[in-house]
Amino acid sequence: MDERKLVWTAPGTIGDLNDLPRDVRAALEMTEIPADPLGDPRLGEVRMLIPPLVRNQADDGYDLKMLIASAGRLELVQALTSGVDWIVDLVPAEVTLCSVRGAYDDLMAELMLAGILALYKEIPHHAGAQARGRWEPRQVRVLGGSRVLFVGYGSIAECLEKYLAPFGVDVRRIARRPRKGVDGISELSVLLPGADIVIVLTPLTAQTQGLIDEEFLTLMKPGALLVNGARGLVADTDALIAAAERGKIRAYLDVTEPEPLPDGHPLWSAPGVFITPHIGSLVPENRARAFAVVRENLIRWARGEALRNVISGEY
């Protein structure tokens, strides 16, 4: 009988993977990451690792980079997140890294659409007026006919574009790698000035950190709406506050830098800025969505089939 492959999964998640086909269960030995993984005698046997969704080394009591490096037979690391900026540099080239890309597309797209509509219809202002018991109508905008620019065009952006289509918007797209219907990043300075809504959904990389800087914001159309659903570090917070304070742009942010955003931080009160506290995937079925992708990859891996969401090349 062939050796069963040892899989270590995040503490408290073994129950999320107990409904596997019989042949997969026969091929894999599933167990949760032990309390002292670096001292565990079976560390050298681990073939697949599913790290915790939220990493806190102080709480976990071990260094994830050291754990991955010490697992000499490791073949696959399956992240429980769509973005892998937090782990990509910890995984050596000979080990496959996969994300759960696609698990949260509709959730993120719904939230981005809600944020856009909220600012176009001045919902933050009118909610504040209601809280004060005041009748303070403010002129609103029409979404139809707006020019939308996606900066970063992956599965979330594709989903959001479908949600925006019934409003009759005009869409342009930019990504790191140009392809049919999608311009390269070199076109950013050309397309930014004409966009009414700029939606940033890039991964966080060395190239995208600080992408939304003073130059980016200066190029934006006066009064345009910036939507950041990527990572807080993609934006220069000071530049963003300065642009909002001089009335250059408005912004909807589900991510910030720092995060959590401290009480009293000037970004909270920047004019025209609407913030939600990173709630894009904060739904009851969050965990089930992530593990649906993990489960599929476990089955594919056990059967020797092609994996989903393999991170390859430069992230």
Give the N- to C-terminal CA distance of the chain in Å, as an integer: 39
Q: How far is CA 83 from CA 37, 156, 204, 230, 284, in A?
A: 25, 11, 8, 9, 20
ω before 260 within 30° of 0 (cis)? Answer: yes
158 labelled catalytic: no
Mutual orientation of helices 105-120 and 155-164 as an angle, nearest 10°?
50
Bridge partners (DSSP) of residue 225 are 197, 250
Say if residues 99 and 91 touch (Cβ distance below 8 Å): no
Burial (CB < 10 A; 0-12, 13-18, 19+), residue 58, is exposed
Active site residue 265: no
Q: Which of 155, 158, 125 lies closest to 140, judged by CA? A: 125
In the residue annotation, 126 being an active-site residue is answered as no
Q: Rg for the chain (alpha carbons), in Å?
A: 22
Catalytic residue among 278, 287, 289, 308: 278
As annotated, the active-site residues are: 231, 259, 278
